[in-house]
Amino acid sequence: MIWEFELVLFVFLVFAAIVALEARNLLVSVVMLSVFSFSAALLFASMGAVDVGFTEAVVGAGVTGILFVIAIHKTSAKTND
Amino acid sequence: MKRSFESPITLLGARALAPFIMMFGLYVIFHGHYSPGGGFQGGALLAASVLLMRVASGSKTSSLILSNAVTTPMGVVGVLIYFGTGLLAMLLGSNFLDYEGLPIPGMPPYYLRYTGILIIEVGVGLAVMAALVLIYDKMADGEVTE
Amino acid sequence: MEMFLANYAYGFTLLILCIGLYGMFFKRNLVKKVIGLSIFQAAVIMFFVSLASKMGGTVPVKWDEIPVEMIDGYMNPLPHTLMLTAIVVGVATQGVAFGLLVNIWNRFKTLEEDTLNEAILEDSRD
């Protein structure tokens, strides 16, 4: 555990989460959600949960990102939020 | 899947990247019983490589890698490997999923447990890969429900 | 200072939890709601993982220099295993959510909550 590194990652996480929820284009949201997942995976690995971090990186950034993109492609990418 | 534009660069990048992701997925599955990783993570990596090709190259080219009709039987085979390992141990006189009862000759019991976990992880990997690709297929070219 | 170092992760986890809850409650778009759900789930996982971590502990893989009896040397592996299951369940939840989203779009041609409510009322009136 290196707490300075974790502090930077936490700030990054909060920033990515807010941008993912506030962006007008849903593709931007999905990319920021992938960034969120990767930062969370780094944080888990730094907290000692190597297995959880690995799973989060594979699933949250790989498979879920692709599923989000195809769902948005089938519907629409614009929103007013 | 209908594509709004076609780019040879993304196709080339995906084709260069997909075999390495697949290799890494196999590594994760076959080393999962003594290091971080395992059936679910390796299966998700294999599925990610197939999905990468499907997104980049459309369904006609990517069905050469893994055909749409193959995914459901593959998931069934994965579940059967898991269930059959447990049932075989139970039929030979020990508990369900107790790998010590597996009929592999010439192995001490602790090594038999080690191997039993490996067999089960292969089944889990197959099932997870098939299920994730199946979700994509059904969503990408599923019929319109009207 | 010791107190802050031991506990600041919980404060950030709570903040991320609130952001996810805000996304699920106040965003009108259904895809944004699924994104909020994903953030919320990551925050819950983060809470359990930070609960398991120890100052000066190492990864829960057996190492000869630290004997197994010295439990302060290893992190607690039980919450990690539980959270592995939670991630797998989360993928299944999101797959079902995407199926529902595509079906809603095919039927009503909208994903915004306000217009969707009107379209459902219109549909049930016929």
CATH number for the domain running over C2-125 = 1.10.287.3510
pLDDT at B146: 42
The number of residues making up chain C comes to 126
Q: Sort out which chain A residues have CB atoms less than 8 A from B47's CB and list them.
A: 63
pLDDT at B57 over 70: yes
pLDDT at A34 over 80: yes
- Residue in B53, B139, B144 to test binding to A, most A beta-carbons within 10 Å: B139
Instruction: Please identify every stretch of chain C with a pLDDT value under 70, giving residue numbers as ranges.
Output: none
| For chain C, domain boundaries | 2-125
pLDDT at B5 over 70: no
C75 and A63: CB-CB below 8 Å?
no
Q: Sort out which chain C residues have CB atoms less than 8 A from B146's CB and list them.
A: 106-107
Q: Which residue has the higher pLDDT, B36 or C46?
A: C46
The answer for C56, left when phi > 0, alpha when psi is -120 to 50, beta otherwise, is left
B135 and C95: CB-CB below 8 Å?
yes
Q: CA-CA distances (angstroms) from residue B6 to A18, B2, B9, B58?
A: 32, 10, 9, 10
Tell me what the mean pLDDT of segment A6-27 comes to: 92
Tell me the C-alpha distance between B33 and C50, whole Å.
25
Query: Smallest Cβ distance to B45: which of A58, A70, A73?
Result: A58
Is residue A57 within 8 A of residue A27, CB to CB? The reply is: no
Each residue's pLDDT tens digit, B121-138 = 999 999 999 999 988 888
Q: Which residue has the higher pLDDT, B31 or C68?
A: B31
Find the helix packing angle between A26-46 and A64-74, rounded to 10°.
170
- The CA angle C84-A36-A18, to the nearest 5 degrees, is 130
Query: Smallest Cβ distance to A59: which of B44, B55, B139?
Result: B44
| For chain A, domain boundaries | 3-74
With an 8 Å Cβ cutoff, is B107 touching chain C?
no
Q: Which residues neighbour B73 within 8 Å (Cβ) at sequence distance 6 or greater?
A: none
pLDDT at B111: 84
